[in-house]
Structure 1
Amino acid sequence: MMTIDVLGIDLAKNVFQLHGVDRKGNAIFKRRVMRDQLLSVLAGIEPCTVAIEACTGAFCWARQFEELGHNVKIVSPQYVKPFVRRQKNDGNDAEAICTAVRQPHIPLVPKKSVEQQDIQALHRARQRLVNHRTALVSQMRGLLLDRGIAFAKSITRVRRMIPEILARADSGLSTMARETIAELWDFFCDLERRIEHFDKKIEAVFKSSEPCQRVARIKGVGPKTATAIVAAVGDGSDFRNGRHMAAWLGLVPRQFSSGDKAVLMGISKRGSQHLRSLLVHGARAVVRTAPNKNDPISQWANQLRERRGFNRATVAIANKNARIIWAVLRTGDQYRAAA
């Protein structure tokens, strides 16, 4: 019996398609199994490379496959799609996964531990509540504007203005409108309480994590950014260098080059939107406060802002911070700002 070298698995909820090849790439194993059979089937296969797509449940399955002695490689779906032959079905998808992971140039998705996934769950749950709060504020502003009451876009302004409007008898609101806004305001306060709960959880994770505290010493990086980055990349060993990680985060220009003509466009926006947003928000604060400071980073930010404008300077600072974060995580050293 020939030995399986790479086993591609098309993950799903209940039905899983397996496609195994030998060292020459010849298909020697094809099987369709149910969820409760998957681990027993893999336990009966000699240790090999198991290839799966990055999707819901991929990291959990990866840990279980590694416990059985297999070497697991996770590949992004965007790199699998070009290798799907003919029609799209589970069998062709599993074959494409197997083919993609055997290519030497295909980048792999960093694996995550249970602790990393726990921290990411905190951030995702908090972000969901923040999105709900933003939508709620927009709705309250719209309803009040329809009654001739306008105020600026700001969470701080909302916290001050809505109670004042509800307390005033001459606000121009009817009884029903006042009750509607009051219910929405009560919902807003509940969201605020829940967001604060997640903030405390994230702060506790930050205080208990030495790598997060090292990363947070970087200008423009706070507890939320530090915990989110460490949860996503671990010690940074999955990246060759800092530029590789910055590109993975989507903080480098897109290219549209041909021949001798190199055309650089806006940032590529690859990777996690949440991580990129955190880094850009932190960088924006650095650029905004730089005119009042004389340290080397602030001076560089000021010069860059004068040459290229506020937004480009912000992305440049975010890119630089991503590279510094990689170096801090990879070497284990403390961040030392330039004197």
Structure 2
Amino acid sequence: MTIETLGIDIAKNVFQLHGVNHHGCVVLKRRVMRDQLLDIVAQVERCTIVVEACTGAFCWARKFEALGHQVKIISPQYVKPFVRRQKNDGNDAEAICTAARQPHIPLVPKKTVEQQDIQALHRSRQRMVNHRTAVVSQIRGLLLDAGFAIAKSITRARRLVPEILSDLGNELTPLAREAIAELHDLFRDLDRRIAIFDKKIDAVFRGSERCQRIATIKGVGPKTATAIVAAIGDGSEFKNGRHLAAWIGLVPRQFSSVDRTTLMGISKRGSQHLRSLLVHGARAVVRTAPSKTDLNNQWVNQLRERRGFNRATVAVANKNARIIWAVLRTGEPHRAAF
């Protein structure tokens, strides 16, 4: 039994194996438990193992590679079209195997333990930020019910909410004051926790020469640099910078046919977190460009006049993604193109 490609449908406790030979004929179909998986894979001759990108995929990929196998990770969106008839573990494993044998299917960049640790920092921080936004919105809503209007700004909330709570002569009832005070304490605690994550991310940034090289690009700071390196490593999974920008989702959605090319809004594919970081950084570049006279900012200003603020922002973010790929792949510091 010679297996060329082994598709594994990863789950929490039960794993489905589907192996094919060089001709695509099925030579292995097996359902195994979690504690049996590594022993069974170790008995298989070295082959290409394919898994779907999901929770635990990168951890299993490292374990399979330690056994001598080559591992590929495919995004679920490219596996779904190959699922035949009903959806079950067997058909899913077969679809993974079939998708991997297509020459045009892009792969998901693998991640080391260090990269996953950095991503854990970013995801945990983002969760705290989302909670803080929700708490501030609830405080604003409760105060608006009581007759106090606060603009949409965390900075204003930090300044005005304590003033309202400390003013015992206003129209706020004691019960509402206590409830909002508890929410304000939660808001301050989330601020403290976010600051802790910021310090940890800054420490990672200072310890990474690769991140520091990326951060020399205008519109890229420590958080963006560490998030990019955590997601793509050295960028070797991408053919060029354009592919990286498309993977992040910084390209327009296309609806074209024959000779008619129709470009629509920016797609929501790819990493929402990376796209958000790059766009926020690019927005700062576009906003401050009018006060500067160098060639790079002149290009930004001309683009802004032609296409508007938002399109110019996305264009700068797209360009930054391409520059990041070049800096990562060449190992050289960033040199301004203008």
TM-score normalised over the length of structure 1: 0.99
Aligned-pair distance for 1:241?
0.4
Q: Deviations over 1:272-308 (max 9, x none)?
A: 1000000000000000000001122211111111111
- For 1:88, the aligned partner's letter is K
Question: Equivalent residue for 1:230?
Answer: 229
Post-superposition, which runs of at least 4 consecutive aligned residues in structure 1 deviate over 4 A? none
Question: Equivalent residue for 1:107?
Answer: 106
**Aligned with 1:111: secondary structure?**
coil
Question: Equivalent residue for 2:257?
Answer: 258
TM-score normalised over the length of structure 2: 0.99
Aligned-pair distance for 1:170?
2.3
Q: Deviations over 1:130-184 (max 9, x none)?
A: 0000000000000000111002111110110011111112221000111111100
Query: Map of 1:1-339 to 2, 5 A cutoff?
Result: 2-338=1-337
- For 1:336, the aligned partner's letter is R
- For 1:307, the aligned partner's letter is R
Aligned-pair distance for 1:337?
1.9
**Aligned with 1:47: secondary structure?**
coil
For 1:77 and 1:53, locate their aligned partners in 2 and report how far apart those are by CA, in whole Å.
6
**Aligned with 1:31: secondary structure?**
strand
**Aligned with 1:322: secondary structure?**
helix
For 2:246 and 2:296, locate their aligned partners in 1 and report how far apart those are by CA, in whole Å.
21
RMSD of aligned alpha carbons = 0.7
Contact 1:75 1:109 in 2 (8 A): yes
Q: Deviations over 1:64-96 (max 9, x none)?
A: 000000000000011001101111111110000
Runs of 5+ consecutive residues of structure 2 not aligned to the other structure: none
**Aligned with 2:190: secondary structure?**
helix
For 2:28 and 2:268, locate their aligned partners in 1 and report how far apart those are by CA, in whole Å.
38
For 1:263 and 1:46, locate their aligned partners in 2 and report how far apart those are by CA, in whole Å.
49
Contact 1:296 1:338 in 2 (8 A): no
For 1:152 and 1:174, locate their aligned partners in 2 and report how far apart those are by CA, in whole Å.
22
- For 1:18, the aligned partner's letter is L
- For 1:202, the aligned partner's letter is I
